[in-house]
Amino acid sequence: MIGITDASLSFGNLRLFARLTLNVASGRTMAILGPNGRGKTTLLRAILGFQKLDRGRRHAPDIVGYVPQHGASQVRLSGLEVVTMGRAARRGLFGQPDGTDADAARAALVQVGACHLADQSYDRMSGGQRQMVLIARALATGSPALVLDEPTSALDLGNQARTLSLIAGLGQARERTILFTTHDPNHALAVADDVALMMPDGEIVQGPVGEMITPDLMSRLYGVPMHWARIAERETRRAMLPAFTGRDVA
């Protein structure tokens, strides 16, 4: 399990949340949705212990696999070296990686389908390639918890699909507790079991994905009309879309 219990956090007169309990059960995946500036990243930082709470408790394993929103792009290391950095917490401040760490890093690259990036320079990778390496680094920690801050931000649609497919596969295995933030309700539909909505008025609503991703709640969350759209392929699926114009497109 990872999360916080009876927790409060404020910055001056701005209250981010009060007496909040938000816990992700072992083996489940939760998405946190909210508009810009609502505090999704700060909430993750509080759960990870990077941001001190005003009150309450946090619950997390000693080591958490963390994928930040923006990974440094100028790191002049190979993909394998970046992934091996995920083992650092197990070695202590002055510890050096050994063959076991390299094996774990290679296994993580295999798991995300990125073996071909092992010898490539991280600073020359595309955004999608760097994201695969960062997810592999988080997996290499061996932690039962994976936390991702907007893992598809700045990615094109193809790389978004690949990233979501990877997270979905990790979630379906039920071997890890996964928590991630996103702006897109369809990402939650594709991946999450549970959803927390950080409403503009300060309320945080949470529950199963089927109860949280609704036109009413999404309209309240983002301040624009939202509706279901049906996608007819081999099987009919639904997507949550904003009604920006209301025009039909032939």
The answer to the question of residue 92 being in a domain is yes
SS3 (DSSP) at 108: helix
The b/e string for 50-61 (b: 16+ C-beta within 10 A; e otherwise) is ebebeebebebe
* Sequence-ordered alpha helix ranges (H) in 76-156: 79-84, 88-91, 99-111, 127-140
Task: Please say which residue of 83, 111, 142 terminates a domain.
Answer: 142
- In a shared domain, residues 8 and 56: yes
Question: Could you list the residue range(s) of the whole structural domain that residue 79 is in?
Answer: 73-142
Give 45-56 pLDDT, tens digit per residue.
999 999 999 999
Give the pLDDT of residue 245.
58
- In a shared domain, residues 59 and 15: yes
| Verdict on whether the full-model pTM lies above 0.85 | yes
pLDDT at position 80 over 70: yes
pLDDT at position 236 over 80: no
| Residues 174, 161: Cα–Cα separation, whole Å | 20
The answer to the question of residue 221 being in a domain is no
Q: What pLDDT band is residue 70 in, cutting at 50, 70 and 90?
A: confident
The answer to the question of residue 93 being in a domain is yes
- In a shared domain, residues 80 and 170: no
SS3 (DSSP) at 23: strand
Determine the longest span between alpha carbons in the chain, in angstroms.
63
pLDDT at position 250 over 90: no
- In a shared domain, residues 117 and 1: no
Q: What CATH number did the domain enclosing 209 receive?
A: 3.40.50.300
Give 144-166 pLDDT, tens digit per residue.
999 999 999 888 999 899 999 99
